[in-house]
Structure 1
Amino acid sequence: MNEPILPFLSIEDATVVKNGKILFQNLEFTIQPDEQWAILAASGSEKTAFLETLYGRTSVTQGRIHRFFSQSYQTEQSKQGKVNSFRDLVSFVSQAYTFRNKSNIQEFYYQQRFNSSEADDTYTVSTYLDQVEETRTGFWNKQTTMDLLGLTPLADKSLIKLSNGETRRLAIAAALLRNPKLFLMDRPMTGLDKETRDAFDGILRRITESGIQIVMTTSAHEIPSTITHVGMITDGRLVPVSDLSGVANQTDLQSLPETNRIAALILDYPTIPYTNLIDLRNVTIQYGSKKILDSVSWTVKAGERWVLKGHNGAGKSTLISLLLGENPQSYAVDFSLFDRKRGTGESIWEVKKPIGFVSPELSRFFPKNQTCLKVVLSGLFDTIGLFRQVSPEQTQLGLNWLEALQLSHIKNILLHQVSIEDQRFCLLARAMIKRPALLILDEAAQGMDDEQRTRFKHIVSILCEKTPIGLIYVSHYENDIPDAVENEITLVNGQRIT
């Protein structure tokens, strides 16, 4: 008699708990061999929690998880007297991807990524991949992963200087090097430019053809054709989905409570006392023989709203580093900020004062002891964390911004402990608390689920409608760009083409 074919993995009537909170109840889920799953949910934190459950980062207090894919491996390892775990056969690329320097310390500050001397203490893409511990041998090695993810041209680039999308590709490559049987990916297309997203289905196909099974979280609009099954998390359970037409979230923007609360906070917004917020004149930034920016000219007048576009590594982050006063070469090039030529005696604090800034990576650089309220208040002083006494009035202002963005419940929670969505809204409050003349949003909605991205776009639209603020919006997604944006600049390999 033939033995029945076991599932690849199954969850049976499970109650799942993390940090004392029930995440899922009566959870049922089965993966058969050769199935590839996409997981949807209204909340990004729910999707992440589901992957963490598969990875064993949560507690199952009732029911069971059967990881049949690892049974023969663990039996063989145990026979040989070797310590083993099912995790030996699992790779997990999360949203909280971080890197460390050669001293195994991750205490970077944001400006370091543009400082060549600091980069010397950080691994390059090539040396970082050399450090990856391979659990088992297989098809994927350093060269095949670098070729698949387009990392070969970046082999000698310092990790600290990678763009968001380049960092994401490196994280996937490092996970693939372990030749897992199960590959968990939490919103893997986050931060990837359109070209890489378009090629992502081919990347997944190559991975699955090598015998690896995939469970990924994503949105209903970004399900690769390689995926064979889709599940939707609803009310703490996972339900298979065959028809995606009704899955997309429909948010009633006019009913969002922040509409009126934010409008009240930005009443009497100060007049912008500048003619030009930005004036770049044939700016070139070069590291060694490589030009990161090549003769870029760009003028942004007070109140203008711009979108900054370009592929991963096009030079967008370097351009923004000039505007924030964080690039050491800013003193050697010809440009002005807020009607004042750079390098004429102004301090970095004077440069930063009229600018509000949000980026997905910014949250990584705050000290671990910073609560969400402290992060918001740090915007008053342009510091990565709050290190001084604040007045009762300032504290109340921070609380008002948290309330307006529906974040009052996390005011005393550490920033790194809250969801990605809440981190982004905290950083937006931090940017706006000082009423800046220019708001720079560098892929600020990256990693959010569809509903939260819609909220974020709506809030930015309110800010543009109700204030004279200037805006630079960086995004790889056309749908994320607020309607108030009327101007466009596009970089290709460091050169401006529009």
Structure 2
Amino acid sequence: MINILNFEHDKLTIKNWQLRENENWCVLGRNGSGKQYLNQLLSGALEPTSFEQLQSPDKDKVGIISFEMQQNTYEQTLKLEAPDDIDADDVGTKAKDFLPKDRLNDPLINEFGLSHRLETRYIQLSTGESRKLLILQAIFSGIELLVCDNPFDSLDCESCEALSIALERLSKTGVTVLLMLSNRQDIPVWCHNIAFIERGLFDVIGKLDNIDTKNQLDALLSPAPDKTSWPENRQELSDYKHPYLVKLSKGLVHYNGVNVFENLNVEIKPLQHTLITGANGSGKSTLMQLITGDCPQCYSNDIHVLGYKRGSGEAIWEIKKQMGIVSSELHRQYRVNGDLLTVVLSGFYDSIGVYQQPSPYQVNIARQWLNKIGLLAQQNSLFQSLSYGEQRLALIARALVKSPYLLILDEPTQGLDELNRHRVLNFLEHLATQEHSTMLLVSHRKDEFLSIFKQHIKL
């Protein structure tokens, strides 16, 4: 199926790689390692400078599912829907519109856990649900090779297991599965062949159960010591005079007659770091939006945030000045193609882009955070030119530049490789020792259930 020998391009080098039909492969790589260029090669979008042998399936027989593809699909769907219809529940592109009409009763849809979501508008699906829908769309189009870029990110444990089983079964029906992963913990047991990509250099490592493979990956993924200093805080927690950061009484959110949750009580005190878990679609992101004010139903609920009661005439931007936010929704919405420094600076203004002259102090703080996340050298690079994982790191820095009292992290490590994911988690543990920002974290990964969390809300 794939036979490549001495492939050269200024972004990608492959010395020798053979992938046979019905073999399952995993390609591991860090953020910015060049996985996207391998996707481009397989989709026919990357022309080689030179090669000795280059054999791969026709591009119309290759399905590639990535964060970037999801972002493009989301944007295209928004453009197709009239602005006046965006908040309506009975219009717009539905999940079933992505699938052939004669396959809407296919049992694979149920295996993917989407049978009950076919009538839901695409833009109302969770990140994990929309990814599974696009995988189904690719399968039903008759592909021979399915390439999935971090397919298990943002899925709850049950959904991860179900998707893994579905992909394994798929691999036995004539569709070859190639996984692009950023974390070793995500490699399924049925994926036997491992390759690694770093700075565009593709290298076959070996079999998953081989001790030499494990040793090579340990060496390749050993973290370098972090000697960069921590940026300074702009305000002190002692200045906050209210007993609660968040207080929700009998919370209720519903769409199209269906309750997302009801009778939900939430209290978060300063430094009461809180973990929120639950199955896909249980309302975790909705709760975050209720707190941030991005859910219109916050005004029909009894909720206090950062000392303000929603609906009491408060200015939403006054509240957001004390709040840092990282979420898939923000990532989807950040479509202004400014440079990386501008993206981080926009955290001071809670805006998409910067529309006033930042102060030298703000620029200095933003550069300190870029240095902390290892992206200072790319401060003038366009945000959209970075890998998804690098973009996510930048949005984490954006949330932290103003030293917020409340730091809302809705699956912040989505798309990050294991080194950067552990770097962020270590940072959160360090942040807790500073006794300044109170963290509210949504996560599906059990290895992210840190001991710093004083409260666990299960939806």
Fold-level match, TM-score > 0.5? yes
Give the secondary structure class of the aligned counterpart of 2:171: helix
Amino acid at match of 1:11: I
Residue number in structure 2 paired with 1:412? 380
Of structures 1 and 2, the larger Rg is shown by 1
* Equivalent in 245, 252, 276 of residue 214 of structure 2: 245
Whether the 8 Å contact between 1:377 and 1:398 is mirrored in structure 2 is: yes
Taking the aligned partners of 1:64 and 1:143, their CA distance within structure 2 comes to: 46
Match of 2:341 in 1: 373
Q: Which residue of 1 aligns with 2:368?
A: 400
Q: How does 1:301-450 map to 2 (within 5 A)?
A: 301-450=269-418
Q: Say whether the 8 Å CA contact 1:460–1:482 is kept in structure 2.
A: no
What SS does structure 2 have at the residue aligned with 1:48?
Answer: helix
Cα deviation, residue 364, structure 1: 2.4
1:168 to 131, 136, 147: 131
Q: Does 1:31 align with 2:19?
A: yes
Q: Secondary structure at the match of 2:51?
A: strand
How far apart in 2 are the matches of 1:285 and 1:65?
Answer: 57
Can you list the C-alpha shifts for 1:190-211, whole angstroms capped at 9, x where unaligned?
Answer: 1111001112231012212221
1:460-485 Cα deviation digits (max 9, x unpaired): 22222123211111111121244322
Work out the CA distance in 2 between the residues paired with 1:482 and 1:106: 42
- What are the superposed Cα offsets for residues 392-425 of structure 1, whole Å, 9 maximum, x if unpaired? 3322222222123221122111212112222122
Contact 2:34/2:198 (<8 A) preserved: no
- Output the CA distance in 2 between the equivalents of 1:374 and 1:280: 34
Change (3 A) 1:268 1:126: closer
Q: How does 1:80-159 map to 2 (within 5 A)?
A: 86-96=58-68, 97-98=70-71, 99-100=73-74, 105=79, 116-117=87-88, 122-130=92-100, 141-144=103-106, 145-159=108-122
Matched, 1:198 2:161: yes
Task: Report the alpha carbon displacement of residue 270 of structure 1 after superposing the two structures with TM.
Answer: 4.2
1:257 is matched with which residue? Answer: 227
Paired position in structure 2 for 1:4: none
Question: Does the 8 Å contact 2:112/2:132 carry over to 1?
Answer: yes
Deviation at 1:336, TM superposition (A): 1.1
1:269 CA displacement: 3.8
Match of 1:226 in 2: 190
Please state how far the C-alpha of 1:64 moved relative to its aligned partner: 4.4
Which ranges in structure 2 are unaligned for 5 or more consecutive residues? none
**Which consecutive residues of structure 1, in runs of 5 or more, have no partner in the other structure?**
1-7, 71-85, 132-139, 492-498
Deviates more, 1:481-490 or 1:337-346: 481-490
Is contact 1:100-1:106 (8 Å) kept?
no
Cα 1:31–1:102 shift into 2, 3 Å: closer
Residues 125-159 of structure 1, C-alpha deviation per residue, up to 9 Å, x if partnerless?
Answer: 1123359xxxxxxxx93432422311110111112
**8 Å Cα contact 1:473/1:481 also seen in 2:** no
1:470 to 431, 438, 450: 438
Whole-Å separation in 1 of the counterparts to 2:76 and 2:30: 39
Equivalent residue number for residue 16 of structure 1: 9
Indicate how the Cα distance of structure 1 residues 251 and 300 shifts in structure 2: closer, same or farther if over 3 A, else same: farther
Q: Secondary structure of the residue that 2:33 maps to in structure 1?
A: helix
Distance 2:302 2:294 in 1: 15
The amino acid that maps onto 2:20 is: Q
**Letter paired with 1:471:** M
| Structure 1 residues 278 and 267: alpha-carbon distance in aligned structure 2, compared to 1, 3 A threshold | closer
The equivalent residue for 1:51 is: 39
**CA 1:467–1:487: 2 relative to 1, 3 Å:** same
Percentage of matched positions with identical amino acids: 27
| 1:168 and 1:191 in contact (8 A); partners too | no
- Give the structure-2-normalised TM-score: 0.90
Measure, in 2, the Cα distance between the counterparts of 1:427 and 1:284. 29
Change (3 A) 1:127 1:54: closer
Shift of 1:488: 0.5
Residues 166-221 of structure 1 deviation map (CA, whole Å, 9 limit, x = unaligned): 12211211221212011111111111110011122310122122211111112322
Deviations 1:66-112 (A, max 9, x none): 336x4xxxxxxxxxxxxxxx111111111211225787728999xx9
How many angstroms apart in 2 are the aligned matches of 1:47 and 1:383? 30
User: Where has structure 1 moved over 6 Å in runs of 4 or more?
Assistant: 101-104, 106-109
d(CA) in 2 for partners of 1:101, 1:175: 19
CA spacing shift, 1:376–1:289, aligned 2, 3 Å: same
Give, in angstroms, the shift of residue 50 of structure 1.
Answer: 2.5
Which residue is 2:171 aligned to? 208
Q: CA deviation at 1:44?
A: 5.6
Q: Is the 8 A contact 1:36 1:227 kept in 2?
A: yes
